[in-house]
Chains A and B, each alone.
Chain A
Amino acid sequence: MGLEDLVDSLGQNVLTTTVGKVIGWGRGNSVWPAQFGLACCAIEMISTATAGVDIARFGSEAMRASPRQADLMIVSGRVSQKMAPILRTIYDQMPEPKWVISMGACASTGGVFNNYALLQGVDKVVPVDVYIPGCPPRPEDLLNALMILQERIKAQGIVTR
């Protein structure tokens, strides 16, 4: 059988899987982040989207300006008390299913700024799926977090939370 025949016969094949796995595969490989930069980490987030590390390899280059079109919120930087309600509003505006990456020490714990102005961890206002340490984390760290999240989404299948 020649190569062309083989390719032709592939079209006749039937693969069996579950709907959950297909949906998980699709969701996991097209996680669209909300374009939502807060502080220093936002610059590294932009860096992740550029040619050097290229987040497009993982299907997440489509940074959406509107939270209505986004699946993933990357909290990139420190969240002040004044910003917290707005952050929550943006999270509420995102359609289900949605995920949150807390990028950097400030978003995760408040970082070095243990004071009156900052929220001591964004998990006080939104549920966080993946935390990234670092101040700011390297772009590779963000990619790693995205890959961890993708594995989780793929395993999650059809179930929404």
Chain B
Amino acid sequence: MSIEDASGQGVTITQTGERGAFGGELLTVNFGPHHPSTHGVLRLIVDLDGEQVKRVKPVIGYLHTGIEKQMEALRWQQGVVCTDRHDYLSPPINNLAYALAVERLMGVEVPPRAQALRVIMCELTRLSSHLVWLGTSGIELGAMSVLMYCFRERDTIMDMNEEISGFRMHTSYIRPGGVMADATPRFFDMLAKFVREMPRHIDEYEDLLTMNPIWRSRTIGIGRLAPEVAKVVGASGPMIRGSGIAWDLRKVMPYSGYENYDFEVATNDGCDCYARYLVRIQEMREAVKILGQALDRLPDGPVNVDDRKMLPPPREELETSMEAVIHHFKLFTEGYSVPPGDVYVAVESGRGENGCYIVSDGTHKPRRVKFRSASFVNLQALERMALNHMIADLVAIIGTADTVLGDVDR
């Protein structure tokens, strides 16, 4: 029997009349794309034997935005705004992957203060991303109040984003050649206060969940991902660290000065949803540690490369220097050109390896931009994790994969 699916999207579900373990026919259930627990618009076609999940087929593309194609139509410096919007929970980390790729092709190195500011923004983002994950996962498993606590701290981070860049979510703060502007003194005050208070707030989340019997019974032993399977599917981030493999790009391939910070790679051998929860909690603590260190030894100096061909001259030079006006004009009409070549740069986002592959043909626009998004790859582990679990546990398993559909579909 063949059923055309309700959305008319041309995906055909074929029921083969296959029998389950107890002789009943397998039931095909459509899960999403409009479902409150799919973290956006993920659609799963689930084959059920009674309540047991026998097959999971993700159908993606409901949030396909054409970001990669769009970036081919934008100049190098304009592409940054698109990187903000694909993984919309970690904009500065996406910015960083793109900026590092462009900088590597151009052969420039940003000053130490810019690197430190980048690290600060990335770690703040990792925290806010994990907070959204924790809050929404809590809601999905019935812990309604966790969201309120998580979003309280997320709003503090958003306020800091606003202070440093003028915008709450899509900051576009990290750009090829440095950062948008130096941070204000008020930002550092806010950050110092945040670093002081955040460990206590993480304790609060742990008080709510770590020993909570309902949370434990909904996550322990659920969604087992064996280390070898995690490697085979190419999982990264908390997904692979929750399976006991200490793979963190900040440690193994340091970028933007991460080698100068003292932090631990959070791992857990549990391989289940609970282990991944513990890994994320631990990562939040480590992120606060990195923030504290970055704040303590923030170097002085410029926050941008001193290259008039890449970044506009300071405002005051425009009044006095004809050359500055020419540079300014060229940058804002044509943009800068990047030498021909291709490069792949990967950074560690809250979800895992967030890579950016760019091809330049030497003009002022990219020839091709490709993102290796952690969400997309981590989604491949979904079926293996969900196999033979109850359909209700599928919600916990989708939550633990922490997919952002904007990142999956781009």
Contacts and interface: CB of A to CB of B under 8 A. Distances in A.
Given A40-B170, A113-B67, A82 B62 contact: yes
A44 B151 CA distance: 10
B41 A83 contact: yes
A82 B170 contact: no
B34 A90 contact: yes
B136 A46 contact: yes
Contact of B66 (A39, A90, A115): A115
A40 B169 contact: yes
Most buried by A among B73, B88, B136, B148: B88
Given A35-B36, A90-B34, A115 B69 contact: yes
A39 B88 contact: yes
A113 B41 CA distance: 19
Nearest to A115: B66
Given A51-B151, A51-B152, A44 B169 contact: yes
Nearest to B167: A135
Interface residues of B, number: 41
Contacts of B82: 112
Most buried by A among B63, B147, B155: B63
Most buried by A among B34, B67, B168, B169: B34
Contacts of B61: 80, 82
A43 interface: yes
B55 to A, nearest CB: 22
Interface residues of A, number: 34
A117 B64 contact: yes
Contacts, number: 101
A37 interface: yes
A98 interface: no
Interface in B42-78: 61-67, 69-70, 73
A5 to B, nearest CB: 43
B36 A136 contact: no
A27 interface: no
Contact of B36 (A44, A65, A78): A65
B170 A50 contact: no
Contact of B170 (A46, A78, A85, A135): A135
B8 interface: yes
Contacts of A80: 61-65, 409
B33 A86 contact: yes
Given A38-B41, A52-B155, A85 B8 contact: yes
Interface string B230-265: 000000000000000000000000000000000000
A13 B403 CA distance: 58
Contacts of B64: 80, 82, 117
B13 to A, nearest CB: 16
Given A39-B63, A85-B8, A47 B41 contact: no
Nearest to B151: A50
Interface in A83-121: 83, 85-86, 89-90, 112-113, 115-118
A119 B6 CA distance: 20
A51 B136 CA distance: 15
Nearest to B162: A138
B34 A36 contact: yes
B81 A83 contact: no
A152 B8 CA distance: 35
Given A36-B34, A50-B152, A118-B65, A85 B88 contact: no
A42 interface: yes
A43 B88 contact: yes
A38 B62 CA distance: 9
A117 to B, nearest CB: 3
B406 A40 contact: yes
B320 interface: no
B118 interface: no
B85 interface: yes
A80 B62 CA distance: 6
Interface of B: 6-9, 33-36, 40-41, 61-67, 69-70, 73, 81-82, 85, 88-89, 132, 135-136, 147-148, 151-152, 154-155, 158, 168-170, 405-406, 409
25 contacts: A37-B40, A38-B41, A39-B65, A39-B85, A40-B88, A40-B169, A43-B132, A44-B169, A47-B155, A50-B152, A51-B151, A65-B35, A65-B36, A82-B62, A83-B41, A85-B7, A86-B62, A112-B70, A112-B85, A113-B70, A115-B65, A115-B73, A117-B69, A118-B65, A136-B168
Given A40-B169, A83-B62, 12 more contacts: A43-B132, A46-B135, A47-B151, A51-B148, A80-B63, A80-B409, A82-B64, A85-B7, A85-B8, A113-B66, A116-B66, A136-B169
